[in-house]
Amino acid sequence: MKYFEEFNYDVEPEEINRMILEIRNTNPPHPDNETKMLLFSLMDLTSLSEKDNAENIGRMCEQVNLLTESYPELQAPAAICVYPELVHIVRARLNNPLVNIASVGAGFPASQTFLEVKLREVDLAIEAGADEIDTVLTVGKFQLGLYEEVFEEIQLTKEHLGKLHLKVILETASLQDLTEVRKASLLAMDAGADFIKTSTGKASGGASPDAFAVMCLAIKDFYAKTGKKVGIKPAGGISSSDDAYLYLIILKAILGNDWINPEKFRIGASRLANQIIREVYQKDQSFYYFN
């Protein structure tokens, strides 16, 4: 661990809440249509259901292919995110080269399996065509203070990915407090994460503005020390344009415009896509499979 132990980990929740309130009060209360379209372009369009199969994932890909034909001014989402076994379906059916293929992996969503199994699953997802891998920080080991083990696991995973994006999910709702959120953020970044992500969407809680703000501040501090710009992804429970907009304005206030692009900011969602299409174009959301 090169930088992790050099940081202060303490977080004052009251300060974070005051910051978020000030950000809310100094921005419009709702996004306009241009901002909604920007949010759409930052989405990792996600389907992680036990019911997923070649048919419904293939249909989702076909609908992404048709987006630019249906709405020429709407940019496609940043990525489609699926389970590893379905990556080959996306690779075969997705025709838009601007949309990345993301896969969860390494024992998602609990990260409770052998390291060898995790790494092999990551390798198989890459072989199937994944451009990005979303993995979960081993929360149990982290909370025991086994930081070296957690660090090495993330580091090894990144070595298997090479230049491909590694997103490390902190599962912030399972962490004890915001101080742990900051500590987990710094550990994951020091180990090589290209993105840090709030949640799997499978735990008891998803993204929250306070945890997201703490993660943004950790990224700012890490960048100041190392010169590396790490991305961030809120996910879990983001189903409306207002939800996504709040994360956007927090990001902008803390990290600035350099982070407002798919290389540094993603939003993990599924229902949000239909919500934005309906609001911007006054179309029935059932037109698309996204759900």
- For residue 28, what are its two tokens? 């419009």
Q: What is the pLDDT of residue 3?
A: 87
Better pLDDT: 225 or 74: 225
CA separation (Å) from 279 to 33, 41, 63, 96, 286?
8, 15, 18, 24, 13
As a whole number, mean pLDDT of residues 152-163 equals 96
As a whole number, mean pLDDT of residues 83-101 equals 95
Pairing verdict, β 79-82 and 43-46: parallel
122 pLDDT exceeds 80?
A: yes
In the block, which residue shows the tokens 């969860």?
104
What is the model's pTM?
A: 0.94
| Percentage of the chain exceeding pLDDT 70 | 97
Q: What's the CATH number where 93 sits? A: 3.20.20.70
Q: Tell me the pLDDT of the chain averaged across its residues.
A: 94
Q: What is the pLDDT of residue 201?
A: 86
Contact (CB, 8 A) for 230 and 222? yes
Rounded CA separation 246/266 (Å): 13
Q: H/E element holding 183?
A: helix 178-191
Q: What is the pLDDT of residue 288?
A: 60
pLDDT-based confidence at residue 224 (cuts at 50, 70, 90) = very high
Rounded CA separation 246/249 (Å): 5
Segment 44-81, tens digit of pLDDT: 999 999 999 999 999 999 999 988 788 888 899 999 99
As a whole number, mean pLDDT of residues 247-265 equals 98
Contact (CB, 8 A) for 135 and 108? yes
286 pLDDT exceeds 80?
A: no
- For residue 54, what are its two tokens? 């070649």
- For residue 248, what are its two tokens? 């956007």
Domain that holds residue 104: 4-287
289 pLDDT exceeds 60?
A: no
CA R_g for the chain:
18
Q: What is the pLDDT of residue 192?
A: 97
Q: What is the pLDDT of residue 1?
A: 82
Catalytic residues: 134, 197, 233
pLDDT-based confidence at residue 180 (cuts at 50, 70, 90) = very high
Q: Report helix, strand or coil for 160.
A: helix
Angle at 37 between CA 212 and CA 268, to 5 degrees: 35
Q: How many domains does the chain have?
A: 1
Q: What is the pLDDT of residue 290?
A: 60
pLDDT-based confidence at residue 152 (cuts at 50, 70, 90) = very high
188 pLDDT exceeds 90?
A: yes
- For residue 11, what are its two tokens? 């977080």
